[in-house]
Amino acid sequence: MHTDPLLKPAVSSSRIAWGLDHIVAALRRSREEVHNIRHRGQIRELPSRDALLTILHGLSATLFPTHYGQPDLTDDSIDYFVGNTLNTTLNSLAEQVRRALLFASDQDEAKSPDPTAGGDGDHKLRLKATTITLNTTLNSLAEQVRRALLFASDQDEAESPDPTAGGNEDHKLRLKATTITGDFAAQLPAIRELLVSDLQAAYQGDPAATSVSEILLCYPGMTAIIYHRFAHALYRLGVPFLARLISRIAHSNTGIDIHPGADIGGSFFIDHGSGVVIGETAVIGRHVRLYQAVTLGAKRFPADDDGVLIKGNARHPIVEDDVVIYAGATILGRITIGKGSTIGGNIWLTHSVPPGSNVTQAQMRNN
């Protein structure tokens, strides 16, 4: 076997004095004293991106078992597959929620949806989530998972206590993570209902689509909205850090950047998708279609008296029902795109338009 001479070290590594003791000590001083950037100066335990990828695959397989799970499932085996997959996935999710809660600020925990802010789609989802229950298998499974996690919390607490809060606080955190995970699981039927409406909108809105299976397996816009529905539910349940990580995974996989705080109604379709950006406080109604490189962004970022950006204020567009926004359009600020409007390609729009508008480049140049 011949070794590429370009890959051989110039000098044997055993003979090189890199001065590692000094470098490692200087890096430790930077981490621990001079430039400590860890949350609250001490938390090292982060949510795992690899674990989240596995969780997203498991949740997708739970909602669409033969497309994202096992293609050879039968009527006899599919419920067992869903139950087993959901059990494993929720256990993993509860741990990631626990880790993310270490980073939750008081503001995050106090956050509650404003029913007057235009979040009609999310409000409906949450109402449905309270009235729709999982089937008998999943209900029983959720209870068994809850009981098992109580025992796991005690054992894990004794083995690896939280260095920042002590065993009692860690136990409370685990219980909170379990509760949040259970609340998330209860929303899965309603989330699937929304996703089926998105799937139907994609099939009806794209003449190139030959089947719903093609959309589920081949359309990046569908992947992005599946991940967003999961992320948005977690965001509203008070785990914004974990939701943000999920949106980052979706962005990496699809080229579509949707902040988990964005409130998106049903029958939503992103065609092609690359370069689409949807900001945190954007509100999108039902039956809305976007094309590639559309931006729903903020026009400006107000600051306080000290020059620090003010966070959490509504600064992104409201897009009402039945709107189509073509490729490359940039819509900025807390403006409203009226119901049934069409926004042409490469438009730069910073003012509201009434229902039924047809905004083109020629009109914008004349104005």
DSSP state of 234: H
For the stretch 319-339, pLDDT in tens is: 999 999 999 999 999 999 999
| Long-range pairs of 35-38 with CB within 8 A, sequence gap ≥ 24 | none
Q: Are 234 and 260 in contact (CB under 8 A)?
A: yes
pLDDT of residue 320: 98
**Strands 324-325, 289-290: pairing kind:** parallel
Residue among 205, 339, 234 at smallest CA distance from 284: 339
DSSP 49-103: HHHHHHHHHHHHHHHSIIIII-TT--TTTHHHHHHHHHHHHHHHHHHHHHHHHTT
CA dihedral (244, 249, 253, 254) in degrees, to 10, reads -10
Query: How many other C-beta atoms are found inside a 10 Å radius of the C-beta of residue 75?
Result: 6
* Phi/psi-derived region of residue 358, left when phi > 0, alpha when psi is between -120 and 50, beta in every other case: beta
Q: What string of pLDDT tens digits covers the 367 residues of the chain?
A: 566 666 666 666 567 888 899 999 999 999 888 888 876 666 678 999 999 999 999 999 999 999 999 999 999 999 999 999 999 999 999 999 999 998 876 455 444 444 334 445 444 443 443 344 344 445 555 555 455 545 444 444 444 444 444 568 889 999 999 999 999 999 999 999 999 999 999 999 999 999 999 999 999 999 999 999 999 999 999 999 999 999 999 999 999 999 999 999 999 999 999 999 999 999 999 999 999 999 999 998 888 888 898 888 999 999 999 999 999 999 999 999 999 999 999 999 999 999 999 999 877 766 6
Q: Are 262 and 228 in contact (CB under 8 A)?
A: yes
H/E stretch holding 278 reads: strand 277-278
* Phi/psi-derived region of residue 272, left when phi > 0, alpha when psi is between -120 and 50, beta in every other case: left
Residue among 296, 293, 257 at smallest CA distance from 275: 293
pLDDT of residue 364: 72
DSSP 300-361: ---B-TTSPBPPS---S-EE-TT-EE-TT-EEESS-EE-TT-EE-TT-EE-S-B-TT-EE-H
pLDDT of residue 188: 97
pLDDT of residue 8: 65
Q: Which domains does the chain have, with CATH numbers?
A: 49-256 (1.10.3130.10)
DSSP state of 32: I
Alpha-carbon distance values, 238 to 110, 111, 331, 358 (Å): 8, 7, 28, 39
- Find tokens 């998105």 and name the residue: 198
pLDDT of residue 15: 72
List all residues 6 or more positions away from 191 whose beta carbon is below 8 Å from its beta carbon. Answer: 63, 125, 229, 230, 233
pLDDT of residue 38: 74
pLDDT of residue 199: 98
The structure tokens listed for 122 are: 């999310």
